[in-house]
Chain A
Amino acid sequence: MSNDAAFVEFQRVQKSYDGEILVVKDLNLSMPKGEFLTMLGPSGSGKTTCLMMLAGFETATHGEIMLDGRPINNIPPHKRGIGMVFQNYALFPHMTVAENLAFPLEVRKIGKDEREEKVKRALDMVQMGAFGSRRPAQLSGGQQQRIALARALVFEPELVLMDEPLGALDKQLREHMQFEITRLAHELGITTVYVTHDQTEALTMSDRVAVFDDGRIQQLAPPDLLYEEPENSFVAQFIGENNTLEGVVKSIDGDSCVVALDDGSEIDAKPVNVTAAGERTKVSIRPERVEFNKDRLHADAHTLKATVKEFIYMGDVFRFRLSVAGNDDFIIKTRNAPDAVRLSPGQEVEIGWLAHDCRALDA
């Protein structure tokens, strides 16, 4: 089996719990072996349902889920051989750490010596070798997380599912574990499906991110593309910080267009989801791509008048809140460089951007 062939595949999958509302609508997804794919989305977007269907705890109402080329709709969870890490870790409280890890090996009827060997290796892998005889309740959250990870990996599954595994950890520990999970996944060559609602987590860990909303994948792309080239307004809003201005397309000329904003001013943008003049659009500009130094802009670029409302000092960056074309929450960010300009509230500036940084998306 070549690396490019789909290892996990959702084919036109639909899911409804009550027969009235579709929680998952026509889901198509295919991922190759060894990929780290994150399902990202707000709660209720259907991402966890997808994960549970893959694990076998929910059945698809329609459509086919394939694992390694075989349809798995009728295979019960315990025969799928998929490792899983749960949000609350789900470590069995009445067993020691070592017993927890030995459990999946025991039910596979693996001999005692081999079992102990594997448990030891798995514990060492997550640097918890000394904790085998402890009970889960005697461990901190981060330690429990490591054990849960080791337990999902100890029986060497080819596919591991993780359901918001870092949700309960504090920020520092979370960042550390993000690194550790990706390292392990890549070292062991495991295919991973990771569910989270934390976009930073999704961007830093994944090979590809599937952004879910309203039961559909809104965009499936590597993190950089997702951030820099969102395909619709939802993705632009959901990933990272984003400025939105509304208006009507005035003219389209190949790779660029002119958008007339609602207050009459005009801006340059890159047409993404608009095809003809006269369509309503939401344009999206990342705060760090907005320029208020006129020298760095094209001579014929459109600019907007803006009033500085607030200056926020954040250490590594400056953050300004501006009032632009009727939008009082227009954010721009500049790096705290030696030559950085500090704008003060009340100051009037002219802002602009490169046309391809400003994306005209669906309204």
Chain B
Amino acid sequence: MTDATQSGPMLAADGTPLKKSLARSLRRRKLRALALIAPLLLFVLLSFVIPIVSMLFRSVENGIVADTLPLTVVELKNWDAESGELPDEALYAAFTKDMVVAIDEKTHTRLGSRLNYEQTGMSSMFRRSGRQIKKLDPETDGPFKDRLIDIHDGWGDVETWRAIKTHAVPITNGYFLNAIDMRRTPEGAQAQPEDKQILIKLFGRTLMMSLIITASCILLAYPVSYILATLPMRVSNLLMILVLLPFWTSLLVRTSAWKVMLQQQGVINETLVWLGLVADDARLVIINNQFGTIIAMTHILLPFMILPMYSVMQTIPESYTRAAKSMGATNWTTFWRIYFPQSIPGIGAGSILVFILAIGYYITPEIVGGTKGVFISNRIAYHISSSLNWGLAAALGTILLAVVLLLYWCYDKIVGIDNVKLG
């Protein structure tokens, strides 16, 4: 290699640096590849990445107070929240001005709902006061302090103004604090009152139940995959259809079927009572609790465990087990020392798949979970569609995503992602 001995970068035949020359020759190909994936890239960007990023941004975004009450926010800076005294007339005047504009634009109720997440009663206070503040003329009707307190007692409460001041920042950690059972106060982050602390417990329960579901899937799927992988192709294809059959049935139908099976007047209980194994007045409670969720979700997620396990086991040649036996290993030793270690990548792949699917599952726990068997995703759905506290929903979602990524990272460190094979 004479080229290697020259100093400096390698040169192409015409004297341009080789790297540049190579990049130029590859550019057309790269552009064509980009053009080929562009439609999908655009679709994913518009329908997936942008909505998700904007949704996640809602977990910290908090412009509503400053946007709706711009003058008040300026005046609040001069007020010492720690003093325990009500703000002065200037702030009330500024607030009235802001409110008149806001009422005109009908944004004051939204602000009320926002502040209601932090302090109950705010929503109705804003709505009710709105009708009367509307009649005030901010130029002539002063002084406003007493008038406002007259309209609603709340305006004479220091806590009201403290809440508004606390949440007047445009970027807030309030939603995240709420998501971990804490709240933002003028004195900094503090724990929620005992009766409001449910989310951390819910996170813990979601993780715990997902682990149990993953473990039961491993236990059920391993022997099935083994049989599928060792049977002759014709038979195993037939059995594979049975495994995939649930896949082709609507998720809702399958979950509802479990409801029919498990409820107190359901198939299982009726059969047990008929057989005399269970007394009529002591029917088993196996639905609308954690047990029901675990059973139904194990069933629904089982194919996601079987498929990767099967495809990994299929690649383990029979000659390995034969070799081990010819060397004197018993059936058990052969399985445990030779077969099992080689099937671990399948277990890993299946576990990641099932665990990640389980941790964010929504429909099944919603239907069969009752109150005790619901997941964090059901809480997120509640905040999205019922309480409309999207900021908190986004914060919970962000934490869920972070937890999954963290677990994924741990798994990579412990097992190694290279060991994961989907086939």
Give the B interface residue count (CB, 8 A): 19
B323 with A86: CB separation less than 8 A: yes
Given contacts A55-B322, A86-B322, contact A92 B328 (CB under 8 A): no
B338 with A77: CB separation less than 8 A: no
- In Å, the complex CA distance between A152 and B326 comes to 9
A84 with B323: CB separation less than 8 A: yes
How far does the Cβ of A119 sit from chain B's closest Cβ, in whole Å? 13
A78 with B338: CB separation less than 8 A: no
Residue of B324, B325, B326, B333 with most chain A CB atoms under a 10 A cut-off? B326
- In Å, the complex CA distance between A87 and B323 comes to 11
Residue of A55, A84, A107 with most chain B CB atoms under a 10 A cut-off? A107
B337 with A77: CB separation less than 8 A: no
Q: B333's contact among A77, A82, A83, A107, by CB below 8 Å, is which?
A: A107
- In Å, the complex CA distance between A81 and B326 comes to 7
Q: Closest chain B residue to A82 by CB distance?
A: B326
A55 with B326: CB separation less than 8 A: yes
B328 with A104: CB separation less than 8 A: yes
- B window 310-341: CB within 8 A of A: 317, 319-320, 322-331, 333-334, 337-338, 341
Q: Closest chain B residue to A91 by CB distance?
A: B323
Q: Closest chain B residue to A151 by CB distance?
A: B327
How far does the Cβ of A348 sit from chain B's closest Cβ, in whole Å? 56
**Chain B proximity mask over A92-121: 1 for CB below 8 Å, otherwise 0:** 111000000001100110000000000000
B342 in the interface (beta carbon within 8 A): yes
**Chain B proximity mask over A151-162: 1 for CB below 8 Å, otherwise 0:** 110010000010
Residue of B317, B319, B327, B329 with most chain A CB atoms under a 10 A cut-off? B327
A83 with B326: CB separation less than 8 A: yes
How far does the Cβ of A53 sit from chain B's closest Cβ, in whole Å? 13
A88 in the interface (beta carbon within 8 A): yes
Q: A103's contact among B331, B337, B342, by CB below 8 Å, is which?
A: B337
Please count the residue pairs between chain A and chain B whose beta carbons lie under 8 angstroms apart in the complex.
65
A57 in the interface (beta carbon within 8 A): yes
A81 with B323: CB separation less than 8 A: no
A77 with B322: CB separation less than 8 A: yes
- In Å, the complex CA distance between A93 and B334 comes to 14
- B window 321-367: CB within 8 A of A: 322-331, 333-334, 337-338, 341-342
B322 with A84: CB separation less than 8 A: yes
How far does the Cβ of B104 sit from chain A's closest Cβ, in whole Å? 73
Given contacts A104-B327, A107-B330, A108-B328, contact A92 B320 (CB under 8 A): yes
**Chain B proximity mask over A211-244: 1 for CB below 8 Å, otherwise 0:** 0000000000000000000000000000000000
- In Å, the complex CA distance between A103 and B328 comes to 9
Given contacts A103-B337, A107-B333, contact A90 B327 (CB under 8 A): no
Q: B327's contact among A88, A93, A94, A107, by CB below 8 Å, is which?
A: A107
Given contacts A57-B322, A84-B322, A88-B319, contact A94 B328 (CB under 8 A): no
Q: Closest chain B residue to A103 by CB distance?
A: B327
A81 with B328: CB separation less than 8 A: yes
Query: In the complex, which residues of chain B have a beta carbon less than 8 angstroms from the beta carbon of A80?
Result: 326
Residue of B317, B322, B323, B331 with most chain A CB atoms under a 10 A cut-off? B323
Q: Closest chain A residue to B338 by CB distance?
A: A92
- In Å, the complex CA distance between A86 and B322 comes to 9
B322 with A90: CB separation less than 8 A: yes
- In Å, the complex CA distance between A93 and B327 comes to 16
- In Å, the complex CA distance between A208 and B319 comes to 27
Query: In the complex, which residues of chain A have a beta carbon less than 8 angstroms from the beta carbon of B341?
Result: 94
Query: In the complex, which residues of chain B have a beta carbon less than 8 angstroms from the beta carbon of A79?
Result: 328
Query: In the complex, which residues of chain B have a beta carbon less than 8 angstroms from the beta carbon of A82?
Result: 326
Q: A78's contact among B317, B319, B326, B337, by CB below 8 Å, is which?
A: B326
**Chain A proximity mask over B2-33: 1 for CB below 8 Å, otherwise 0:** 00000000000000000000000000000000
A107 with B328: CB separation less than 8 A: yes
Q: A84's contact among B326, B330, B331, by CB below 8 Å, is which?
A: B326
How far does the Cβ of B327 sit from chain A's closest Cβ, in whole Å? 3
- In Å, the complex CA distance between A83 and B324 comes to 10
B320 with A77: CB separation less than 8 A: no
- In Å, the complex CA distance between A104 and B338 comes to 12
- In Å, the complex CA distance between A79 and B333 comes to 13
A103 with B322: CB separation less than 8 A: no
- In Å, the complex CA distance between A93 and B330 comes to 19
Q: Closest chain A residue to B333 by CB distance?
A: A107
- In Å, the complex CA distance between A84 and B337 comes to 18
Query: In the complex, which residues of chain B have a beta carbon less than 8 angstroms from the beta carbon of A151?
Result: 323, 327
How far does the Cβ of B42 sit from chain A's closest Cβ, in whole Å? 41
Given contacts A86-B319, A90-B320, contact A77 B325 (CB under 8 A): yes
How far does the Cβ of B420 sit from chain A's closest Cβ, in whole Å? 15
How far does the Cβ of B158 sit from chain A's closest Cβ, in whole Å? 69
B317 with A103: CB separation less than 8 A: no
Query: In the complex, which residues of chain A have a beta carbon less than 8 angstroms from the beta carbon of B324?
Result: 92, 103
A78 with B325: CB separation less than 8 A: yes
- A window 29-88: CB within 8 A of B: 55-57, 76-84, 86-88
Known: A90-B320, A108-B328, A155-B328. 4 other contacts (CB 8 A): A57-B322, A92-B324, A107-B327, A107-B329
Listed A/B pairs (8) with beta-carbon separation below 8 Å: A77-B325, A78-B326, A78-B329, A90-B317, A92-B324, A104-B327, A107-B329, A151-B323
| Chain B residues packing against A (C-beta within 8 Å) | 317, 319-320, 322-331, 333-334, 337-338, 341-342
Nearest first, the 3 A-B pairs at minimum CB distance are: A104-B327, A90-B323, A84-B326
